[in-house]
Structure 1
Amino acid sequence: MDNVDDLFNPSLAAALIKLDPEDGEQVVEYFKAQALLMKEKALLQASVRDQRKLLVENGKLKKDIELLRTQLQDKQRRRTAKAVLSPAPPPPPVSPAPTTPVANQPAGATAAVLTNPSPPSSHDRRERQSRRRRGERKARPTSDSLSLGAEPRVDVSRLDLRVGRILSVRRHPLAEAMSVQEVDVGENAPRTVVSKLGGKTHLEELQGGLAVLLCNVKACKLRGVVSQARLLCCSTPDDCTELLTPPTGSTPGDRVTFLNYPGDPDRELQSKDRVWELLQPDLQVDSRGVANYKGCGFEVKGKGLCRTPSLTDAVIR
């Protein structure tokens, strides 16, 4: 079908016209039109197959790029953490310059020594070159650790804190001291959260309320139920517990940020980095009931600060 005219050469067309003088020409034109339609249909089907193949290949490439980027970020964090934690090497020893006694020499000899010092021996040159090379090798890790040390950070900006609305709450089927919440954090589907809010907490009062959630923790199974986030609450030494409450006007999905600690949060907190454990001692509620990190408040931009309903001077967990 690459050339429709080849299917209908003059002899074939003449034969058809001879068989049917009245409608022969129309029959020939009809067959030509049908052949053209079949050719266009075949080309269209081939184009659709090529598009589908390209879409599949693009999807695979996107997954490969995402995997490589994650591996590169993990490798960079391991390198920077190793550089920060390793002690800086001591500076290379500097030997004192050799001195030549001139006290018991005549004045002319002393002047000659001062003006025309003897050239260093080949052994001294080799020793100085060796010390210089050792000094360069030792100084290089120190500069690397300083340049790389500026990139990693262990502060509250690495936490993905968001406002969420508790849609439902129930007791954990296998643990009396735990509860299971379904929380809307502004995504397509709510997240399941397992928390230690059982016991004295009136769970029915939590339903429909707003809370602050840590959303970039790794999903884990707690007594048979997978938890996909962490509800932030505060507690006092006498075992009183309250959830942190966002400011009035907050909506599910609003980010909780810190004025003094800008930056994007980690995609997922790695357990080996222990970021949450390192930050938790500085997460507190002050005497006014305001949640803060090192004195910098939990803020929803344009709406206010996160607080507790009644507790003060409490720790956030």
Structure 2
Amino acid sequence: MDDTSNLFPPSLAAAVRKLDPDDSEQILEYFKTHALLSREKALLQASVREQKKLLVENGKLKKDIEQLKVQLQDKKGRRTAKALLSPAPPPPTVNTAPATPVNQLSPAAGATAAARAPHSSTSQGRRRRGERKAGPTTVALSLGAEPRIDVSRLDLRVGRILGVRRHPLVESMSVQEVDVGENAPRMVVSKLSEKTQLEEGGFAVLLCNVKACKLKGVVSQARILCCSTSDDCIELLAPPTGSAPGDRVTFLNHPGEPDRELQSKQRVWERVQPDLQVDCRGVANYKGCGFEVKGKGLCRAPTLVNCTIK
């Protein structure tokens, strides 16, 4: 029996040979070739699906590892602070007075010493307790420095707008799909005026480490930075020419890595935002230090000057 039986039933091969004895072998070879190609195509498609699945799983594992690293660093910080805040043990008290043998004390003196002993030990215990209470307060004051609040804690990246649509529930809002150099684009919900240019393929600067939240039923995963002189005059902050999705926006005078996610209790964005300005040349800056994409240039407002960034 030839190897065609592995690809199609023997009855089919017999029928083909019976119908066309002369060309049956060529017909069977043709069927065999197509069957093998179909099998290889199916295997290739299965391999591609498996590869995509592995890429997604790898991305999830990377996120889990980053979260575990942050948790470990937080625990180390809390342990260090606890060790610094814990009071030092009180020094041992040394009694330098010569001890009087008990057998040399008169009965009256012994009674007097016994009556004084509890009072003395109680007063020493109170002083020690007072010292322990005062100790942490002094250390806490020395460690009570406010955490760093500046623009380096913001994760600002260049993004390319892939699509724009109206919010399904609020007419004054729009939903943008933006590529910020990750495996999948981010959804951004914005309340922008009709005059603001939101074009597919256009570039913008996004704040990417804000906490994702629902705005009227649609989850927003970032914030698009805009230049504004009033509610009716709003422009998207433009990255320099040649920027690519995912490029970091940095500040020469404020180095450092951004937070993984801004904590709402610290109100970092609210405290930094008033110092984000566009100067008289149209250049975006924080306290006079420009928004820079390294090797590519500075971020600017398309036409506005002397305005705020929000």
TM over 0.5, shorter chain = yes
In structure 2, the partner of 1:283 is: 276
**Is residue 162 of structure 1 aligned with residue 161 of structure 2?**
no
**Residue 142 (structure 1) shift:** 2.8
Q: How many residues align?
A: 213
Q: Which runs of 5+ in 2 are unaligned?
A: 1-59, 81-119
Using the TM superposition, give the Cα deviation of residue 294 of structure 1 relative to its aligned residue in structure 2, in angstroms: 0.9
Q: 2:289: which partner in 1?
A: 296
CA RMSD of aligned residues (A): 3.5
Give the aligned partner of residue 247 of structure 1.
240
Residue 174 of structure 2 corresponds to residue 179 of structure 1: yes
Return the match for 1:197 from 164, 180, 192: 192
Show the 5 A alignment for 1:53-68. 68=68
Instruction: Work out the CA distance in 1 between the residues paired with 2:194 and 2:63.
Output: 44
Distance in 2 (CA, whole Å) between partners of 1:264 and 1:286 is: 25
CA distance in 1, matches of 2:278, 2:78: 33
Report how far residue 232 of structure 1 moved.
0.5
CA distance in 2 between partners of 1:63 and 1:253 (Å): 17
Task: Give the SS at the match of 1:177.
Answer: coil
2 CA distance for matches of 1:166 and 1:288? 26
Is 1:228 aligned with 2:221? yes
What is the letter of the counterpart of residue 140 of structure 1? V
Q: Once the two structures are aligned, what percentage of the paired residues are identical?
A: 74
Give 1:230 deviation, angstroms.
0.7
Inter-partner Cα distance in structure 2 for 1:62 and 1:287: 43
Q: 1:67, CA displacement in angstroms?
A: 5.1
The answer to whether 1:272 aligns with 2:253 is: no
Q: Deviations over 1:260-280 (max 9, x none)?
A: 100000111122221111111
- C-alpha displacement at 1:210, in angstroms? 0.9
TM-fit CA distance, 1:190: 1.1
Q: Any unmatched runs of 5+ in structure 1?
A: 1-59, 81-121
Q: Is 1:307–2:306 an aligned residue pair?
A: no
Shift of 1:76: 7.9
1:219, distance to aligned residue in structure 2 (A):
1.1
Secondary structure, aligned partner of 1:279 = helix
SS of residue matched to 1:272: coil
TM-score for the superposition, normalised by structure 2: 0.59
Change (3 A) 1:156 1:62: closer
Query: How many angstroms apart in 1 are the aligned matches of 2:182 and 2:63?
Result: 21
Compared with structure 1, are the counterparts of its residues 202 and 282 closer, same or farther at alpha carbon in structure 2 (3 Å cutoff)? closer
Aligned AA (1:173): P
Q: Distance in 1 between matches of 2:240 and 2:156?
A: 14
- After superposition, the C-alpha distances for 1:6-39 in whole angstroms (9 at most, x for unaligned) are xxxxxxxxxxxxxxxxxxxxxxxxxxxxxxxxxx
Equivalent-residue separation in structure 2 for 1:228 and 1:64 (angstroms): 18
CA distance in 2, matches of 1:251, 1:236: 28
Q: CA deviation at 1:235?
A: 0.8
Question: Which whole-Å CA distance do the structure 1 matches of 2:170 and 2:64 have between them?
Answer: 41
- The 3-state SS of whatever aligns with 2:177 is strand
Look up the equivalent residue of 1:239 and give its one-letter code.
D
1:297 to partner: Cα distance: 0.7
| Partner residue in 1 for 2:13 | none
| Aligned residues of 1:176 and 1:199 also touching (Cα < 8 A) | no
CA distance in 2: counterparts of 1:142 and 1:234, whole angstroms? 41
Give the residue type in structure 1 aligned to 2:169: L
Offset, 1:198: 4.2
Structure 2 CA distance for partners of 1:170 and 1:295, relative to 1, 3 Å: same
1:282 maps to amino acid: D
Residue 130 of structure 1 deviates from its aligned partner by 9.7
Change (3 A) 1:141 1:248: same
Which residues of 2 match residues 1-317 of structure 1 at below 5 A? 68-71=68-71, 137-145=136-144, 149=146, 152-203=147-198, 206-237=199-230, 239-317=232-310
Q: Deviations over 1:33-66 (max 9, x none)?
A: xxxxxxxxxxxxxxxxxxxxxxxxxxx9998875
Asked if the contact 1:247/1:307 (under 8 Å) is kept, the reply is yes
Q: Which amino acid aligns with 2:284?
A: A
* Aligned equivalent of 1:44: none
Q: Report deviation, 1:222.
A: 1.1
